[in-house]
């Protein structure tokens, strides 16, 4: 299954992104399966906290570049609508969500992690706001969530430099809440989830609704989607996708 959902006991469920051949990149199929899993768990009274993680030692490589290059405006608008719907669903999930981040989280993968209430990562984990590597703008709510966690100046620097940061730096900046030794993210996230699952569910849902600021998140997602529609049709994005396919660094200097 492309998304695995397991009831782990003590009121905790584990959702695993399972595309190891693509470092769990967010294909349309995976995105829809994630939405389906979370919708089911939201209505399951036996589940009081959820851990999201990735298979085979990585969290999520972001959007699947192999599916990019589309130039049909109708298809692109549908893609952005699906992104807004999925990110909104994660951001408004009524129960505690904990991200267990092993290995790499890139682009939309950082967005997915930061939409969760608690981010647990390993010292060896790498977070990369890699959108500009393929000529795209940010999406999956990072302009809202990462800015809230780390500040506007930090997210701007990370977006512009496109550089990955390791777990200790992500912890220092506030992008990560709990840091573990290599291989320890899932166990630490499960401990966090069990603690949260023991709390009052209605009270925690109310706190999440109050603090989460869903209207601001939705507004950020809509702004991101509007920018992304322009970027998908840009020559810079075409060069980024071509460079990815050719396994070379993009040369944006030759793009007009």
In this predicted model, what pLDDT tens digit does every residue of 46-104 receive, in sequence order? 999 999 999 999 999 999 999 998 889 999 999 999 999 999 999 999 999 999 999 99
Quick check: 256 pLDDT over 70? no
CB atoms within 10 A of CB 222: 13
Helix extents (H) in 115-184: 142-150, 152-161, 167-173
Assigned superfamily of 3-182: 2-enoyl-CoA Hydratase; Chain A, domain 1 (3.90.226.10)
Q: Which helix (H) or strand (E) holds 248?
A: none
Average pLDDT over residues 22-47: 97
pTM above 0.95, yes or no: yes
Average pLDDT over residues 13-31: 97
Give the gyration radius of the chain's Cα atoms. 17
């Amino acid at each position: 299954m492309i998304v695995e959902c397991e009831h782990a006991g003590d009121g905790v469920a584990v959702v695993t992104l399972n595309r190891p051949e693509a470092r769990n990149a967010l294909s349309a199929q995976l995105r829809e399966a994630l939405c389906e899993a979370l919708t089911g768990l939201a209505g399951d009274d036996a589940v009081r906290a959820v851990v999201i993680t990735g298979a085979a030692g990585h969290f999520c490589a972001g959007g699947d570049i192999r599916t990019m290059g589309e130039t049909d405006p109708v298809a692109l608008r549908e893609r952005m609508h699906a992104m807004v719907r999925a990110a909104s669903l994660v951001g408004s999930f009524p129960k505690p969500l904990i991200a267990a981040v092993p290995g790499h989280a890139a682009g939309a993968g950082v967005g997915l992690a930061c939409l969760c209430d608690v981010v647990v990562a390993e010292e060896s984990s790498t977070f990369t706001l890699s959108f500009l590597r393929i000529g795209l703008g940010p999406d999956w709510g990072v302009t809202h969530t990462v800015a809230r966690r780390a500040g506007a100046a930090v997210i701007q620097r990370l977006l512009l430099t496109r550089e990955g940061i390791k777990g200790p730096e992500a912890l220092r900046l506030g992008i990560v809440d709990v840091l573990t030794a290599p291989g320890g993210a899932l166990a630490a996230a499960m401990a966090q989830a069990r603690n949260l699952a023991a709390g009052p569910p209605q009270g925690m849902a109310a706190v999440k609704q109050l603090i989460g600021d869903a209207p601001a998140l939705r507004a950020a997602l809509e702004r991101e989607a509007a920018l992304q529609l322009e970027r998908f049709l840009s020559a810079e994005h075409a060069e980024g996708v071509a460079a990815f396919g050719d396994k070379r660094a993009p040369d944006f200097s030759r793009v007009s």
